[in-house]
Chains A and B, each alone.
Chain A
């Protein structure tokens, strides 16, 4: 009986884990028309209704139409003029129920986010027969996609082509309760200048016919390659299950290199056992699997191939150890050519684009940073499919946090980047070394209270606020959470969250639930203030008078703090404060105070002012002298340069 019960629960758990894994299956046959920078394609979409709702309408993304003209919401939101040139589009030639009614004439453009009638990036298709709960529908779509010039993640430059968001892709039906929705609805947003993507998992079977002299790379595993000698074309077939998007690229000059990620070589037994111990798991659960790494680089970046592979290996290793093995057999990395930077630094399932420069220096963070970061999205976006439109911090923020940890672990701190005349001058000029905590905190402080982190991507107070609240501020929030709960607890939280929500769509509250469950504490106060709120956190040493210390909370946010007091006799005392009231005092009768410091370990990275965290009686002569003499030196040199014309 017990065994049956165990089996039942195991099956139920497996079914739950598989929920949402194969909702939208695509079969696409595409012919690449290189001279027109376009594809003609046929798509069969099999959509499974796994919700309890009856669905009478389908909604599709046609994102390449954001580049159709200057009227799209994307072009209106982004001030760059080239976006208004037009030329990118998806034209649906025919849309029909497979083997049934032609629905082409019923297609209508909708604008759920901003009522912009000029936007043609989302369509609604009413169905003649509703799809019942548990039912499926097969839709056949013929379409032509034209690429714009390299613009916002997609496009062409010379003979380089990056096909992303290139096929009609169905939106996500969110049933009541999913991502805490109040009722069932289509989640199918328009393409905005600051937003990325959200779609359901499924199986992709894509055939691409391209001129034979092009090197083609794509999402998934290449199953076959059939050459048509007469037509001088080659048809590639790519298959991949459990993914939610498909991207591909083609260029004649790509240098294609394949290496295998061998976990036996990349991960030492000590690393394996320490990770297992940290996560409280058996070693067998943290073992990694081999992956074929396919790198497509520009000929002029040939010398950086090893750097790229090293970054990919670091990504596969650390993300795999911390969050669970990368489950796909391949990973394709594309290095875009000069002039196509807009297509770089992006992520798609099993397929990423990076970016580098012709000249890079030792100590430069390119291209390691971007490669590790984009690879990280395989976990935070690819495997855990958060809604990038509505909660971009769940992928960009988690990934910035994780990328920072890997860079600090596997690379030396880099010099603050300065590029001039295509040359990396940071190491030459000896600019300050930057750790990831310092880098992300510095950016976060540029607008720490402009918005809450959880907000629709197109509704932030500008691009800068979107960037800070999606990338740097979440990284600072997560680092603060890690410092508060402890590294082991944080590691277990993220592992649990990743494993539980793989192939599904969590939201911020789902993450909070995992935090509370794993830490065994109610962290709602933290989330309310720093995830859903936007208050400034700032604790300061207000005054030191004889033997009395006064600490003040300058910001609105509340956080418990530690205070260290050092005395002239060399001893020290620690105090804690819940930080709630505006100020507090600590008394040390008959003790001569040397220095006082709030949060001396700088665990609370969210603190907007580290300078006022401490007070020390003696003047800090050495640092002041160092910076003053440096300023005097540079000011003198600047003046002499100016005087050269006198």
Chain B
């Protein structure tokens, strides 16, 4: 199967699995609301009946943040930061749980909820490995920073330092995408191959990506490009939408949530296309657990 065919097949698969998509978006919105509701309560209490709110409708006054901090002795930030961290962690676990079902549906192994339960532990173990992988990328980021600092310590020009910084950012982003892709295949390996051992899944994914690097990367790149186009479109649209009347604001809310839903769709598209590609290149997934052995 060519990467393009995998991408197209993946898109079709996500369309069929629209319930998974809708559920994932709903969960995302619900978790976002957990963070937003207390903040909105603060906004309502502080600005709900103040004419200052109407003045800031056209252009937000950054001084208000300092005002709020002074008024509450910094309480919102003190509460919000741990809340945000806790919600992110919980969301990560819930998404790990849902991914098990999504992958089961995409791979056609079991039903959604059964897949959620069956695959949670193995995907959670893979999550720990993935975190280590991203930590490695952060290490590369930091090491490259030190090298750039040393090489251009005496530079009287910003240009080479900026260019090197952009180069570093590009390398780090590519490495992060590579790690992301490898762990996507590790998850697929775990679900489609029904393999519990995380190290076997990681090793299997590494081997698969090594053997099929060009087409796997091509499929990943096509979807990434689509995601970029989506972000660009949003940037263009959001820049021209007026936000001064309730009617427009309802429309903006719908568009914003449509964008979030589109991002969820793209995330599932990655998994579906990679599942299709994996199955095409690895026709007997029940033995894929031994690949790395």
Contacts and interface: CB of A to CB of B under 8 A. Distances in A.
Interface stretch (B202-210, B244-252, B280-288): B244-252
B180 A432 contact: no
Interface string B255-286: 01101100110010000000000000000000
A616 B239 CA distance: 30
7 closest Cβ contacts across the A-B interface? A442-B63, A445-B66, A337-B156, A635-B32, A422-B162, A338-B158, A614-B51
B59 A338 contact: no
B134 to A, nearest CB: 6
A469 to B, nearest CB: 15
Interface residues of B, number: 76
B50 A614 contact: yes
Given A339-B154, A434-B62, A639-B88, A300 B159 contact: yes
B86 interface: no
Q: Which of A610, A611, A617 has the most CB of B within 10 A?
A: A611
A25 interface: no
Given A434-B62, A633-B256, A640-B28, A623 B57 contact: yes
A441 B169 CA distance: 36
Interface string B222-251: 000000000000000011000111100100
Interface in B73-96: 87-88, 91-92, 95-96
Contacts of A284: none
B65 to A, nearest CB: 7
Nearest to A432: B60
Interface in A602-646: 608-617, 619-633, 635-640, 642-646
B170 to A, nearest CB: 10
Contacts of A434: 62
A609 B67 contact: yes
B92 A643 contact: yes
Interface stretch (B10-18, B36-44, B108-116, B193-201): B36-44
Interface string A142-165: 000000000000000111100000
B252 to A, nearest CB: 6
B41 to A, nearest CB: 10
Given A623-B54, A627-B43, A644-B180, 19 more contacts: A157-B154, A157-B156, A430-B238, A432-B60, A608-B67, A609-B70, A613-B50, A616-B51, A620-B50, A623-B57, A625-B246, A625-B249, A628-B43, A635-B36, A636-B28, A636-B260, A639-B88, A643-B95, A646-B130
Nearest to A640: B263
B67 A626 contact: no
Contacts of A445: 63, 66-67, 69-70
B156 A623 contact: no
SS class, residues of chain A in contact with chain B: mixed
B49 interface: yes
Nearest to B250: A625
Interface residues of A, number: 70
Contacts of A595: 51
B32 A632 contact: yes
Contacts of B246: 621-622, 625
Contact of A645 (B53, B131, B239, B260): B131
A642 B243 CA distance: 28
A421 interface: yes
A610 B64 contact: yes
A631 B39 CA distance: 9
Given A253-B156, A338-B161, A624 B253 contact: no
B62 A645 contact: no
17 contacts: A158-B154, A158-B156, A432-B59, A444-B66, A448-B70, A608-B67, A609-B67, A610-B63, A611-B50, A612-B50, A614-B50, A620-B50, A624-B43, A628-B40, A631-B40, A637-B260, A639-B32
